[in-house]
Structure 1
């Protein structure tokens, strides 16, 4: 986490969290979801505006973390911006040597499990967490499978959140909590 972010958190410890305003899609793209995007529906059906500013993308990557409930967030100064996930907390890029990293070039560490869901999506559980293999890297992933380095195990996508301890939609959870008497 950036030092400037730590300082802002110490200076303003009680800034309300932000829910529903940031999304990560299955191709590793980040989206800002203003009121209009949120009114059109949940993520990813209503994505919002793609973030393309390289410095902002790098800032998000450096300050991306998970809370004790498995909700991923971007710590934006003193404010925690919870992330709506299309599939998983990470989208992996498979390198020519078989190593795995995020689109922000953060190393994922060792591949611990290789999973294939009912939609044909390949996911890898790595030291850093669970991530979806980017669609452009399926040929490289297939080479790892063919070489016997990864063995896909079939899994139902609806079981991934509980099994790997993450929340795909903090906004949905917040709406459900607000509806409780």
Structure 2
């Protein structure tokens, strides 16, 4: 977290949280969602400003309930996730010929386990604690397939990450990823449900 953000939090600790306005899409793009986009259920407009993207990525964290947010100064801006909290790119290092994985911020992502969902998506968890869950960018599926072997049923297999490390491709249902890996895909929907429940209780 940036020092300027820590200072803002110390100065204004009780700024209300924000939900619904920031979205992280399936290809690792950050998107702003105005009221019209939210009402239409649209993804919103991609953020292109390099400095702002860096600021978001440096101050992107999860709370104790698995809700991911961008700490924008004193305000916590909760993020709507199209799929996972991280998207990774697979590439081949020109110097070594080895595969590399990097997250949306360009940081190295060292995989510890690999998964194949029921829609053909590839996911990885890393070696951090707690482990991060990331989906592979769909543009990199061809490169992935060059280093993977699928079982006959197409639901499992293995991925040759390094000469000495083969990752088993474990099957997982896309609808179960959020619960299995402990994150909240839509903090806005969760906040709305909690507000409705509180309103119902007060009306009784």
TM-score tier (shorter): over 0.9
Structure 2 residue aligned with 1:115: 115
Q: CA RMSD for the aligned pairs? A: 1.3
Unaligned runs of 5+ in 1: none
Bigger-Rg structure (1/2): 2
Kindly indicate whether structure 1 or structure 2 has the higher relative contact order, using CA contacts under 8 Å at least 6 residues apart: 1
Q: 1:158 deviation in Å?
A: 1.6
Q: 1:120 deviation in Å?
A: 0.7
Structure 2 residue aligned with 1:49: 45
**CA contact 1:130–1:164 (8 Å) conserved in 2:** yes
Structure 2 residue aligned with 1:139: 142
> What SS class does the counterpart of residue 162 from structure 1 fall into?
helix
Structure 1 residue aligned with 2:23: 23
Q: 1:95 deviation in Å?
A: 2.5
- Counterparts of 2:18 and 2:73, CA distance in 1: 12
Structure 1 residue aligned with 2:34: 34
Among 89, 92, 109, the residue aligned to 2:88: 92
TM-score, length-normalised on structure 1?
Answer: 0.92
TM-score, length-normalised on structure 2?
Answer: 0.82
2:73 is the alignment partner of 1:77: yes
Q: 1:74 deviation in Å?
A: 0.5
Q: 1:162 deviation in Å?
A: 1.5
Structure 1 residue aligned with 2:163: none
Matched residue count: 176
